[in-house]
Structure 1
Amino acid sequence: MMNSRIAEIAVEKAAYSFDKAFDYVIPDSMLDKAVAGTRVLVPFGRGNRKRQGIITAVHQGESKSLKSVISILDDEPVLNDEMLKTAAFMKSHYFCTFYEAVKTMLPAGINYKVTTMYGAKDESEFSFDELTDEEKRVYNYLFSKRKAVKSEVLLDAFGYSTTEPFELLVQKGVLYKSDEIFRKVNDAVMKMASVTPEVDISGVKLTEKQKNVFELIEMAGAISVKEVCYFTGVTAAVVDALCKKGLIYFFDEEVFRIENRQKDSSLKEIVLSEEQQSACDSLYNEYDSPFPSVSLLYGVTGSGKTSVFIKLIEKVIDDGKGIIVMVPEISLTPQFVSQFAKRFGDKIAVFHSALSLGERLDEYKRVKQGLAQIVIGTRSAVFAPFDKVGLIIMDEEQEYSYKSESSPRYHAREIAKFRCSYNNALLVLSSATPSIETYYYAQTGRYSLNTLSARYGKAVLPEVVVADMGEELKNGNTSGFSDVLLQNIAYNIEHKKQSILLLNRRGYNTFVTCRACGEAVTCPNCSISLTYHSANNRLMCHYCGYSVPYTDECPVCHSHRLTFGGTGTQRAEKDISDIFPEARILRMDTDATSSKSSYEKMISAFADGEYDILVGTQMVAKGLNFPNVTLVGVLNADHMLYADDYRSYERSFSLLTQVVGRSGRGNDKGMAVIQTFTPENLIISMASRQDYNTFYSNEIKVRKAMLYPPFADICLVGFVSQNREAAFKGAVKFLELFTEEAKKNYPNMPLRILGPTPALVVKISNKYRFKIIIKCKNNSEFRALLSKILCEFGKSKEFSGVTAYADMNALVC
């Protein structure tokens, strides 16, 4: 038997049921580069389709019957040992494939895409006259290209929806087909010029311009052609002429597609309060210990938690370890980056999805190359490719945006804990309204607790008024804005102060109904009402993206008696503009912030006083610091309280507390107005008092009685199919398999099972959804049981049209 070097490779697009490391022979020419953490191209499956994969390990073994690696895709490993272990952790805890975890860790720009290519064969290999006119058209198009063309280009050129016409021509021997691999984004390079070594220009005839160019390049040593042209006033042709004479040579130098971040040396040192200093010292002592630790920094809104972060980082940055600072929303990154850049300059890198693919790739490479030591970003920042992590900070740790809703369904907090455990690092969880689980662990000693009980400096918590909208209606006020809110907005406009209005619903009207038949206008693809958007006069679905121009005809009974209901941010913006036509109003929601730099521009404009009123969804509620904001209005506190989820009270309390905390952060006392039809509601009352301790005491009792986290874990098993009955039957079969296996091999495992029942939104994008809820302990035994049944179900031919997935502690159960 032949003994060879064997690579164990996790392959992309492998089904979860069959996901494992596959063995491939490493050709001798690739031995140097074929190491763990390196991506490769391999033949996969019966058809030997080219697939990407990543080497997880290399060993010596028998190569008989094994396929060989086609090519190595990376010059050096993209994942180190820590990140390979993180991928394995994600596979076992989040029931995803190994390569799904790998793709999640890497920036989209670094990924490769395997593309099907079609090319024209020589006419001597087939009978051209026997082709149809359309087939001749396809052949002539490809023949004129003189090379293979990407399938997506061909589909666009001929208007086809599938590649079937090209496949038929392949079968007839008219076209050839191949799979090629392309990187999604190339490195950015700049054309540089340098003097040829030991060149002698004596006797070489040069024009005056050429002499000037040569002297500049000689003096600079190496300089970009763009700079040469700028400083000498010549065209690129003059520079090219020197190269042709052999006096200079060109080369490419990689450049980064990122903004220049300069340290502000004029900044005064941050002076911490006694309470802040105590928290900072305590956190540093935990950082300096030889063991991993998790600490909760619990501080009221405006207590100066960010200042504590900065001072802590200043104390640890010289250790050379990586530092990750996570925020829950892209809208929060501009203020954080601005504050941190002034102190740490180009040691900062930014990770979030609003960056272009090229920018994301470049920021990743800066970290990988050790050029940046602090990463600021949303949940993807937790995968920053540091060789050694020293400190991870999660601001607003309670926010559900830290949890991924698509596979891998990970929570950034759990990945951060894993990385800190691996590196003996410190994880700081920060919030004015910690999640119930986090505060429970801090109270019971699993996490340490540091508290900031007062606002920094002279700032005090705002006065909160709860406006009874039922009474407003009785008094004839139908505007949707209480008298007290309108009075204070008018006062702020007059006195050059700013206001923030929160309405956590996008669009103009949140639904449209028919007064004749009573039906709501719903999405044809989803079991959800369409939302009216005034900006484009369209009805839109916020789940699948379906949209249709608005007409006043009912799609059910065809009468013309449609009426609008519910208010979104677009409607609130218009209504407040009608009441205060002189006010400068800015709306901030996902519809208004679709472009790459829109978040930063909006926040900067509002901070600079260019607007009087900021209307927005939850992205205006957290983390933002505007000293001139002295009024916050919550336009509808009720709709968030009664969601079909055990966390609805926690989310409502957090959002209300956070948005109230945006007011009065400067020298002027602030006010907040919470509008509600249920002013006696305890959640609203506690949030208006910023009384987290009472809220926690009440909520933890309910959690314990109902066996909700932190006293148990809740696993949602979802079933998705284009056929409603198949989805339901799949759920029933899964439950049968699961309970049988549990009784047989895990008789003492504590389980409580609910369902199957329809999902909260039963149809999305023409696929029906059912769910099973399992209350459990998320330990290795339970994960082994669940993984076994997921794999068994996935291999079942009877339910091949049903997709099953598991979501541990899902956002909505």
Structure 2
Amino acid sequence: MKMTRSARSSSRARSARIRCPQCTGSNVPPNTPKRMPHHSRGLKDPKQQSSEQGWLFEVAPPPWEGDAAEEPLAEVVFPSGPEGEWTYLVPARLAGQVEPGRRVLAPMGRGDRLLIGYCVRVEYAVPRGKLKSIRQVLDEVPLVPPKLLALTRWLADRYLCPWAQVLETVVPSAVRQRAGTRLTTLLSVPPDVSARLNDLKLPAAQTRVLRLLAQCPQPLTPRQLAFEAGCTQAPISQLRRKGLIRTEHRRLSRFEPQEVPSPPDAPHALNQYQQAALDLIRQAIQQRRHEVILLHGITGSGKTEVYMHAAAECIRQGRTVLVLVPEIALSTQIIQRFLRRYIGRIAVWHSMLNLTERLYEWERIASGQVDIVIGARSAVFAPLMNLGLVIVDEEQEAAYKQDSFPRYHGRQAAIERARAARCPVVLGSATPSVGSFYNVRRGRATLLTLPARAGHSELPDIRLIDMRRVFKKKNTSTFSPQLLIALKENLERGEQSMVFLNHRGYSQYVQCYRCGESLVCPECSISFKYHKAEDTLKCHICDLRQPMPEACPHCGSKGLMHKGLGTEKVFGQLQRYFKDARIERMDRDTTTRRGEYRRIIKDMEDGAIDILVGTQMIAKGLDFPGVTLVGVVSADSIINLPDFRASERTYQLLTQVAGRAGRGDRPGRVIVQTFTPEHPAIHAACTHDYQKYYDFELEMRKAGRFPPYTRIVNCIISHEDQQQARDLAHLLERLFVAEIEAMNSDRYKGIMGPSEAPFYKLHGKYRWFTGIRGVSLNEILAVVDNAWKKLTPAEQRCVAIDVFPANML
């Protein structure tokens, strides 16, 4: 980690002891009485040397050792100051208040500018030189518990980011700002006053107030006390002046939570496969053993019920549970099931909470009022104590990877937190990531399988439609005849259908038929998407919006064509085909209003929707027993992206969306339209042959030296100037080459790039990639870290380090 000179850094402050010149270099001041090195003459350590060669220590100690006294020293990191850990004296007036996890106010630099920092360590040591003192402690209790503090240190080292920035991410702004609270005066009666109430000679009003307050189990505000006693503030003020009432000031929340329904749902009976999986998870919980468990269950196999039974066992052991879901908006049903099962003892943590709600939930968790925390990626930092089980649902999802600083992966953070808590972590999925499956083969994880659906339902039949043959018959419709016939049959039987397309909007791009130019976002190097309902062009990256032009801005032609499909266009076409059907659309455009997503889900559960059209929002985590048909308009939407995970994600997405069909008593069927039916990912998804697909994908990754056989660190260079972005990318390449040569290691390390990013321009900045991959993570992290430190501060601001990138776009 980069160190900056201002306050005296901890690395220098800890150099108080004399170091052996033969072990650590000559750090001993001149004219120092020499002592025999502890490694000489076969002696193991100074204590053994003291007992066998006592005469060696008869020399008088140096003056700086003989007279020095140990003092409490605190190491502090600053989010808005220089990087590194900085050592400060703890003044006597703050003794006992300064502890790891609390924020402090400390001077920095020659002008003693006061900065807010996090105390990360307190120890007694001999100060080296003149140290500055901490001025103030800002928190009543530590905001970051010790084990969570250790997790933040691990994240900082693993993802090459400053420790203080990780702490800022862990502690929500609502907690730091005490959002939704007010400073309140609270009154209570001291115990010694309560013991002599009968002996006090007081006026009647003061006696009534004092006796009433002494009987209250909780402190009261002056206003509450006056109301209960039926008096003014005068007798209360008199008692406070006499010292008979104790006054304290606290910050209290103004948030009033809504009441939850009751009674709780009863647990469901498990089948033999669920019970076998639960028994192994329960054994790890009872033995308090850290173990990574991959729960691979086909769609509809009842993984959620296994989660809830395991959580119940953990709670019976007196421990807490952490459940991670990829996105709150896509996990409504699983969250509602947990809420109905564990009423009152569960907290939901996600980005849609307002500041007051966040503070309320954080304090509930930190105070031990919660047994289960369920939430998205950031819930991994919830201040749960006595953690006994961690569950990561849909572990393969890219949503667990943060795409902004610090770029941590929620799944990896969850595994590390479980390791520190010595508890099992369950990674659940119907389509595990290739990396997780590889870890099972290497013995790093235990595989549990649920090969059958819960209840009596079966996996749906999947039919593959080669659209090349459809087009040869001069049928240029969005839908194949087979899909239209199946939709019609479902409507006649009164059954529900889902139609999936992973693109929103009306068309994917607008092109001029005369000059061939497409309408492109000026801030990003991608085409505008056309949204017909608003007659607007939108950039799905930076959200720039422009009205649809009447003519081509390049040549003036009015022949603008709409190319490509989006859910809005599919929705409109289905309305024309089936005029009497109840059709809804669910994508990011239709669920912007609060509560709209839940309304659509409820309508589907109630059978008020016949056909639901949507993007991946309808593909995962939803259980609609009435859905018997799923139509995939295009299985090729992401398979050709320039990313080595494109094939894996295609397989996962198709398997997940196909799993929405036939989850009730009636059999399901799936119709998949594609122009590449021979692709291994599409073929494997349609035949439910995950084992064959994973074997194929691992062979491809091994041949190409891609993860999981190597580790990748990608450096994303962004700059407003094209040439400067290019120059910086090539500079990084040269620094990488120099660091690899200096390392003198024979382990494989390869440089990727420099090259233009597939999305060359985003948010007005040009992007280049310069990455490195290798078999040793520590070695490539050292290469990147050393190279980054050689950049100027201005250059560093243009480089984003992405360890284990979720995509290469």
How does the TM-score come out when normalised to structure 2? 0.82
**Of residues 800, 803, 806 in structure 2, which corresponds to 1:807?**
803
1:12 aligns to what? 79
Return 554-563 or 667-676, whichever deviates more. 554-563
CA distance change for structure 1 residues 812 and 65 in 2, over 3 Å: closer, same or farther?
A: same
Cα separation, 2, equivalents of 1:520 and 1:394: 42
**8 Å contact 1:190–1:224 — kept in the other structure?**
no
Structure 1 residues not aligned, in runs of 5+: 112-182, 205-215, 229-236
1:372 aligns to what? 370
Cα separation, 1, equivalents of 2:363 and 2:159: 27
1:22 aligns to what? 86
Q: 4+ residue stretches of structure 1 with deviation over 6 A?
A: 188-204, 216-225, 237-241, 247-252
1:38 aligns to what? 102
Q: Secondary structure at the match of 1:101?
A: helix
Cα separation, 2, equivalents of 1:200 and 1:687: 86
1:647 aligns to what? 645
Q: Secondary structure at the match of 2:757?
A: strand
Return 423-432 or 189-198, whichever deviates more. 189-198
**Of residues 408, 411, 415 in structure 1, which corresponds to 2:409?**
411
**8 Å contact 1:188–1:256 — kept in the other structure?**
no
Cα separation, 2, equivalents of 1:377 and 1:187: 24
Q: Secondary structure at the match of 1:770?
A: strand
CA distance change for structure 1 residues 473 and 780 in 2, over 3 Å: closer, same or farther?
A: closer
How far is 1:460 from its partner?
A: 0.6
After superposition, residues 356-395 of structure 1 pair within 5 angstroms as: 356-395=354-393
How far is 1:442 from its partner?
A: 1.4
Q: Which amino acid aligns with 1:582?
A: D
Cα separation, 2, equivalents of 1:484 and 1:242: 81
How far is 1:70 from its partner?
A: 4.2
How far is 1:783 from its partner?
A: 1.9
Structure 2 residues not aligned, in runs of 5+: 1-63, 206-211, 238-244
Q: Which amino acid aligns with 2:704?
A: M
CA distance change for structure 1 residues 201 and 811 in 2, over 3 Å: closer, same or farther?
A: farther
CA distance change for structure 1 residues 512 and 110 in 2, over 3 Å: closer, same or farther?
A: same
Which deviations, in whole Å up to 9, do the C-alpha atoms of 1:312-340 show, x marking residues without a partner?
11222122222111111222432122211
Cα separation, 2, equivalents of 1:352 and 1:33: 31
CA distance change for structure 1 residues 630 and 255 in 2, over 3 Å: closer, same or farther?
A: farther
2:527 aligns to what? 529
2:20 aligns to what? none
Cα separation, 2, equivalents of 1:687 and 1:346: 40
How far is 1:647 from its partner?
A: 0.7
Cα separation, 2, equivalents of 1:702 and 1:484: 34
After superposition, residues 624-639 of structure 1 pair within 5 angstroms as: 624-639=622-637
**Count of paired positions:** 722
1:303 aligns to what? 301
After superposition, residues 638-677 of structure 1 pair within 5 angstroms as: 638-677=636-675
1:55 aligns to what? 119
- Structure having the higher Rg: 2
Cα separation, 2, equivalents of 1:532 and 1:725: 32
**8 Å contact 1:433–1:654 — kept in the other structure?**
yes
How far is 1:257 from its partner?
A: 5.1
| Residue 107 in structure 1 maps to residue 107 in structure 2 | no
CA distance change for structure 1 residues 800 and 683 in 2, over 3 Å: closer, same or farther?
A: closer
**8 Å contact 2:253–2:360 — kept in the other structure?**
no
**8 Å contact 1:537–1:550 — kept in the other structure?**
yes
After superposition, residues 432-581 of structure 1 pair within 5 angstroms as: 432-581=430-579
Cα separation, 2, equivalents of 1:377 and 1:570: 30
How far is 1:348 from its partner?
A: 0.9
CA distance change for structure 1 residues 22 and 430 in 2, over 3 Å: closer, same or farther?
A: same
How far is 1:240 from its partner?
A: 12
1:398 aligns to what? 396
Cα separation, 1, equivalents of 2:361 and 2:289: 30
Return 459-468 or 770-779, whichever deviates more. 770-779
How far is 1:622 from its partner?
A: 0.9
Which deviations, in whole Å up to 9, do the C-alpha atoms of 1:18-56 show, x marking residues without a partner?
621122344443333221111123444566555332111
**8 Å contact 1:263–1:341 — kept in the other structure?**
no
**8 Å contact 2:713–2:801 — kept in the other structure?**
no
How far is 1:763 from its partner?
A: 1.0
1:187 aligns to what? 181
Return 539-548 or 519-528, whichever deviates more. 539-548
How far is 1:572 from its partner?
A: 2.0
Q: Secondary structure at the match of 1:381?
A: helix
CA distance change for structure 1 residues 474 and 778 in 2, over 3 Å: closer, same or farther?
A: same
Q: Secondary structure at the match of 1:434?
A: coil
How far is 1:785 from its partner?
A: 2.6
Cα separation, 1, equivalents of 2:120 and 2:189: 45
Cα separation, 2, equivalents of 1:530 and 1:737: 38
How far is 1:278 from its partner?
A: 0.9
Task: Determine what percentage of the aligned residue pairs are the same residue.
Answer: 35
How far is 1:217 from its partner?
A: 12
2:21 aligns to what? none
**Of residues 320, 323, 329 in structure 1, which corresponds to 2:321?**
323
After superposition, residues 123-142 of structure 1 pair within 5 angstroms as: none
Return 38-47 or 411-420, whichever deviates more. 38-47
1:164 aligns to what? none
Q: Which amino acid aligns with 1:509?
A: S
**8 Å contact 1:501–1:632 — kept in the other structure?**
yes
Q: Secondary structure at the match of 1:523?
A: coil
Q: Secondary structure at the match of 1:346?
A: coil
How far is 1:704 from its partner?
A: 1.5
Cα separation, 2, equivalents of 1:435 and 1:537: 40
**8 Å contact 2:772–2:780 — kept in the other structure?**
no
2:723 aligns to what? 725
